[in-house]
Amino acid sequence: MLISTADAILLDLPLVEPFAAAHGTTRSRTVVIIRLEGEDGPVGWGECSALPAATYTAESAAGSYQLLTDHLLPTIVGQPLTVATLDPLRRQHADAPMAMAGIEMALIDAQLKTEHRSLAQWLGATSSTVPAGVSLGLAPVDQVATQARALVAEGYRRLKIKIEPGHDRAVVDAVRTDPTIRDLVAATEDRRPDRDPTPNFELHLDGNGAYGADDVDLLVSLTSSGSTAGADVLEQPLAPAEVNAATQLVQRLADRWSNDSGGLGPVPVVADEAVATMGDVERLADRRAITGVSIKPARVGGLLAARAMHDRCRELGLRATAGGMLETGLGRRALASLAALPGFDLTGDLSPAGRWLATDPWPDLTMTAGQILVPDGPGVAPEPDLDLLDHHTVRRERLSS
């Protein structure tokens, strides 16, 4: 597509409630949207999901907006561009995966709308629904328990809860011993009979790298084993640099599992912050420091890189989960489409954006009976509500050829 117009739009969307994690608290969702228009008509929308502050990775919404308007969009405007010809620019800006993911998404959206194809179909999705999963921020234990009850009542059967040192065991115990949650889960028909000892319910813990080498014993003790229900997945518990400790953790969980008689595999240790590139996956898999990856299109540079990582995880026998970035409905639709690939064998961050966004220019994901419907319309998402978009626009810059 010959790019005739490129817009960067800095949106500020109010959150339903603040979202806290070990890396900081988010109060409103500042997010960058990219609009690309081709000479011959197609329009595509992409989301750069960098967070308001550079707390999770080095990218931030304001920084990405600057890079896009100063450099990336001026470079592509007036040029013929496809997802394939984007590679030189990607290599040049390997340190800006979220900005590049936004450009890529807009290109894919325009291309697929022209072809009347859905993103899920284009990516090779094999299912029309994916299990819903929801994340809970750091909060006092009683608040976590109250939220967890409400979310299980809404139909979620996978909760991902943020933990940090000193705020972990009490969280696991509160959720695992809650009678309301137990009754709600027991009333659900069997969807995951493989997941003894607590079929139909998965507890993921996300440490955002807040733990260190001395915490391996503690982390092991937080996980499910035999008839004891704990965490079913550990996401990035250890700091990314703690590779030796991660290898120990993986080994300890494997030993723990082989000492059990249950049918479960070892509790997966899933990398988030530690994996930016395929090289990171190879290196951590070689070191046996991970057994899975949270694949976030934004963090790895886009949907194509995410799909390639998914494929490689399958070859390597690694588990995979589709990771979220508190996106708008646009980014969330992309995530749900990706999550329908067959190698995503752990429930992902698949909740509608309305869980955190009080308003959203994009139509939200649909959730029924604990499942998210994989979008099947043309492109990544339907057109946004342009009035809402304007209303929440903080800055906008248009480049034309």
Q: Counting Cβ atoms within 10 Å, is residue 324 exposed (0-12), middle (13-18) or buried (19+)?
A: buried
Binding mask 322-341 for ligand OSB (x = CB under 6 A): -xxxx---------------
206 forms part of the interface with Mg ion (CB under 5 A): yes
What does the H/E/C string look like for the chain?
CEEEEEEEEEEEEEEEEEEEECCEEEEEEEEEEEEEEECCCCEEEEEECCCCCCCCCCCCHHHHHHHHHHHHHHHHCCCECCCCCCHHHHHHCCCCHHHHHHHHHHHHHHHHHHHCCEHHHHHCCCCCEEECCEEECCCCHHHHHHHHHHHHHHCCCEEEEECECCECHHHHHHHHCCHHHHHHHHCCCCCCCCCCCCCCCEEEEECCCCECHHHHHHHHHCECECCECCECEEECCECCCCHHHHHHHHHHHHHHHHHCCCCCCCCCEEECCCCCCHHHHHHHHHCCCCCEEEECHHHHCCHHHHHHHHHHHHHHCCEEEECCCCCCHHHHHHHHHHHCCCCCCCCCCCCCHHHCECCCCCCCCCEECCEEECCCCCECCCCCCHHHHHHCEEEEEEEEC
360 forms part of the interface with ligand OSB (CB under 6 A): no
Q: From the list Mg ion, ligand OSB, none, which binds 271 (C-beta under 5 to 8 Å, kind-based)?
A: none
| Site for ligand OSB, residues 38 to 57, rule: CB under 6 A | 51, 56
Q: Which pair of tokens denotes residue 234?
A: 């550990």
272 forms part of the interface with ligand OSB (CB under 6 A): yes
- Which window, 164-172, 203-211, 261-269, 332-340, contacts Mg ion (CB under 5 A)? 203-211
- Which window, 106-114, 142-150, 239-247, 320-328, contacts ligand OSB (CB under 6 A)? 320-328
* C-alpha dihedral, 353 to 120 to 234 to 143, nearest 10°: 20
208 forms part of the interface with ligand OSB (CB under 6 A): yes
Closer by beta carbon to Mg ion, 11 or else 163 = 163
Instruction: Give me the least distance between CB of 262 and ligand OSB, in Å please.
Output: 27
Closer by beta carbon to ligand OSB, 181 or else 322 = 322
349 forms part of the interface with ligand OSB (CB under 6 A): yes
How many residues at the interface with Mg ion, by CB under 5 A?
Answer: 3
Closer by beta carbon to Mg ion, 322 or else 381 = 322
- Which window, 65-73, 124-132, 240-248, 319-327, contacts ligand OSB (CB under 6 A)? 319-327
- Which window, 51-59, 108-116, 266-274, 324-332, contacts Mg ion (CB under 5 A)? 266-274
Instruction: Give me the least distance between CB of 77 and ligand OSB, in Å please.
Output: 30
Closer by beta carbon to ligand OSB, 225 or else 347 = 347
Q: From the list Mg ion, ligand OSB, none, which binds 349 (C-beta under 5 to 8 Å, kind-based)?
A: ligand OSB
Instruction: Give me the least distance between CB of 249 and Mg ion, in Å please.
Output: 16
Residue number closest to ligand OSB, CB atom: 324
272 forms part of the interface with Mg ion (CB under 5 A): yes
Per CB under 6 A, the list member of 75, 135, 291, 371 interacting with ligand OSB is: 135
- How far, in whole angstroms, is CA 175 from its chain's centroid? 22
Instruction: Give me the least distance between CB of 326 and ligand OSB, in Å please.
Output: 5
Contact residues for Mg ion, defined by CB under 5 A: 206, 235, 272
Contact residues for ligand OSB, defined by CB under 6 A: 51, 56, 135, 206, 208, 272, 323-326, 349, 351
